[in-house]
Structure 1
Amino acid sequence: MAKKVTVSDLPNTEFINNAEVLGQLIKAKRTKLGIKMADCAALCGIGINTLSRLENGNANCTLAAMFSVLNGLGIKLTTNMLINSDSRTETAHSITTESEWV
């Protein structure tokens, strides 16, 4: 019998401020979808070791690999600040909730 994917918790933080939190977010999304690491890595076009390093918060992974995984899992990073290109002023925007992360 094949091993079932165990769902991981979302990070317990309001902001993604380091590689560890982003890795927790990626793992939570992957496991919520029930995708095994090998299948996710293949889907995203990266190696399983790279995916493992990303999920474990290794800050030395490339942005290309990170965005391959984010795009592959349908995770969109957003900001709560909009920059007006005409006046270069920042205006407040709604804060992204955990449900919008994943």
Structure 2
Amino acid sequence: MPKRVKATEAPNVSAITCPELLGQLIKAKRTGMKLKLRDCAALCGVGVNTLSRLERGNPNTTLAAAFSVLQGLGIQLTVKSDTSTEEWV
């Protein structure tokens, strides 16, 4: 009998501030959709190792791969402007 995909919880944060949190979000979405790693990788057009590295928060994964996975899973990346009025130095 094949292994079942066990859903994991999404990180309880208001902003994704590091690769690890992005990985947790991606894994939570994938497992919530009951997708195995290899099936999700195929759906997103990336390799299994690439998806696994993303889910583990490996910072050396390409931005292109991250966007492919986000798009494949229906996760929209939104940019929120900092309300600070200080100029960059």
Which TM bucket (shorter chain)?
0.7 to 0.9
Which has the larger strand fraction? 1
Scaled by the length of structure 1, the TM-score of the pair is: 0.77
Corresponding position of 1:58: 58
**Offset, 1:80:** 3.3
Would you say how many aligned residue pairs link Structure 1 and Structure 2?
83
Corresponding position of 1:8: 8
**One-letter code aligned to 2:46:** I
Taking the aligned partners of 1:23 and 1:11, their CA distance within structure 2 comes to: 9
Corresponding position of 1:94: none
**Offset, 1:13:** 1.9
Q: Note the alpha carbon deviations across 1:11-52, whole angstroms, 9 max, x for none.
A: 122210000000000000000000000000011111100000
Percent of matched pairs sharing the same residue? 60
Taking the aligned partners of 2:44 and 2:15, their CA distance within structure 1 comes to: 24
RMSD of equivalent CA atoms: 1.4
Q: Where in structure 1 do 4 or more consecutive aligned residues deviate above 4 Å?
A: none
- Structure 1 segment 15-94 matched on structure 2, within 5 A: 15-81=15-81
* Runs (5+) with no aligned partner, structure 2: 84-89
Taking the aligned partners of 1:12 and 1:56, their CA distance within structure 2 comes to: 17
* Runs (5+) with no aligned partner, structure 1: 83-89, 91-102
**One-letter code aligned to 1:65:** A
Taking the aligned partners of 2:81 and 2:49, their CA distance within structure 1 comes to: 34
Corresponding position of 1:96: none
Taking the aligned partners of 2:10 and 2:46, their CA distance within structure 1 comes to: 23
Instruction: Tell me the secondary structure at the aligned position of residue 20 of structure 1.
Output: helix
